[in-house]
Chains A and B, each alone.
Chain A
């Protein structure tokens, strides 16, 4: 599905992403872990087309994402950690706007279902400037589900969501992966990564420090839970003491 080969991104002399390679398989939930500033957001921004890589390749099946950004954006969707939206559109209008851009035929039924699923229906005709952070986040998740992409990129998707919405989100992405959609998710919430992801990669200083299934990684650190393993890998333990 998604192949990243030797991806590097430099900002001046600073290397944010350093020669990373990984694969996200069809219908897989792939969690991208790492401390602040490890390069997680930069990586998803490159995949989504917001940033250009300094070097390296990204393929979505056989489609070169870097060389064909416009074509690949039809199949890749991205939600940033800060859910900025158009403040003067209503939720319904925003979803209609998205369906126009993605040329989704007759989206009304899906829009209503998604608004209902995310408990946004009572506010569907209110302008988005009146929405809370969590409500905007839910709307953006609804907007990516609406367009049915091959792969969804989430950057801290559950920040600002209430517990019920987090539960709904987890159920939703599980259901989406059953239909073949892949999920690439940056998160700090190790518990969520442990529970729902098929594989994880731990990023440190722009490089991949560990990659594999949770079981694979835990087996290398016998008797430790994911939190300890994460702290061991990223050498963050000293910060705690």
Chain B
């Protein structure tokens, strides 16, 4: 076993061994919640697969097609994840300078970072796919060794996907050591990926899943039988698993061989490439930007000159704004979020809905779905904002600024973009759905409160579960704090919509029965209860976060 990996494993076990009581409890709760969520996922997948299996004649084909789609999507997600993570692991890890000072070969350091990237970019996705595979195993009555086969095939599959991202980062850093050009290429690549994603969605792939839109049923069957992205490892994984399930050993071994052979070739190729490129790319990454930024009085300071009590809040808002403006890593994620929003709205527009009741109902459900989307965006930007202070958190702890002002500055700073994104998703969806005024106003009202509350949740959980020693901010997102934040946010979004279920039902009755009167009082009561629960819980959580942040010792 390579020496760096050996000590990495050793330090992991030391960490686990030295957990204090509170850390053990936290990890236990985290694991338990994780298992429950995986179980829920399994049940959902099982239901979907059971339904598909029940479709006459083509049940098996549908399941194969769905599996192929699940694996192709996961493949691209690992590629993107590796692209983002590898920039840090290859060039900015804390231990790199130390490792380069040791008498180790560059390839040893590089291969350690490759393993790191493969692990961090794929483990959570593979964990989420696991319930799907278990459901697949149950529905087809496969034996337990099917799971083992999945592990066997998924290792080279994840490896291949991650190596694509690694190759991109390595070559980008090698060919563009100048930070300005590199930033430009990085943004351009993100933009290209986002455009490809939007383009793919705009081509309406759902048409292919609906036989009525295919014209001839034979076309549909041909589509189902055709491979999905046959030149991608995801197809080899799908085929390998199906072949194993059907005891088609020839096909199974071919695909197993393909996965392992290509991943080995690519691994050897990237190692070979790294021998000539890694050191130069690493050196280039260490050189800072020489760009001059001429100082002009920022608008935050102009505000604080007029309102003295806002001085501290404005100072931190200024610092955060400048950081996001100059850190190009944020740009790619903002571009991807913009693409995601376009696809979201387009998907709403593409829904085959003709009935106004259904449209109104979709608008109501959209409150929950937008809430989920906003939670995910806030997880990336808002939840991580406290931890992103990193080593400089000592500044916050030693200056005369109240913890609540520090956290409040982050809340104000992040709320406005989150609110705008929420409104775009809700209002444009409602316009496409042509919903009634009541549903329009209700969804805008509920989503406004939800977006604010989700920001408070994100800041608060971020302050309760901070990590100032991380190399990569994405590690904070996948921490137990991030997990708890997402779980609480999901419960809150569902609860918010369910509070309005009675008034909404009343509204539907009223539309279909002219003698039925809409119960205004019930609507106001639901609204008040919604506001009361939202703000009292948020207030309590924020206060808890302030106390927790004050207690942090760095």
Contact = CB atoms under 8 A, between A and B. Distances in A.
Contacts of A96: 295, 301
Given A97-B318, A100-B304, A84 B399 contact: no
B295 A50 contact: no
B291 interface: yes
Contacts of B402: 70
Interface stretch (A71-79, A170-178, A215-223, A227-235): A71-79
Contacts of A92: 295
Interface size class, chain B: 35 or more
Contacts of B199: none
B176 to A, nearest CB: 17
A184 B401 CA distance: 23
Nearest to A129: B288
B6 interface: no
A205 interface: no
A84 B294 contact: no
B312 interface: yes
Contact of B288 (A71, A98, A130): A130
Contacts of A78: 394, 398
Interface centre among B394, B551, B554 (most CB of A within 10 A): B394
Given A12-B20, A82-B391, A86-B319, A126 B290 contact: yes
A52 interface: yes
B301 A73 contact: no
A101 B322 contact: no
A125 B294 contact: yes
A125 B295 contact: yes
Contact of B401 (A77, A89, A101, A127): A101
Contacts of A88: 322-323, 325-327
Nearest to A90: B293
Contacts of B554: 50
Contacts of A76: 398
Contact of B400 (A82, A89, A102, A129): A102
B319 A97 contact: yes
Interface size class, chain A: 35 or more
Contacts of A80: 394
Nearest to A42: B553
B308 interface: yes
Contacts of A131: 288
Interface string A28-54: 000000000000000001001111100
B52 interface: no
A38 to B, nearest CB: 19
Nearest to A72: B400
Contact of A89 (B319, B394, B398, B553): B319
A71 B402 CA distance: 10
Interface string B304-336: 100010011011001100110111000000000
Nearest to A89: B322
Given A84-B391, A126-B292, A102 B326 contact: no
A198 interface: no
Contacts of A82: 391
Interface of A: 12, 45, 48-52, 70-71, 73-74, 76-78, 80, 82, 84-90, 92-93, 96-98, 100-103, 125-127, 129-131
Interface of B: 20, 288-295, 301, 304, 308, 311-312, 314-315, 318-319, 322-323, 325-327, 390-392, 394-395, 397-402, 551, 553-554
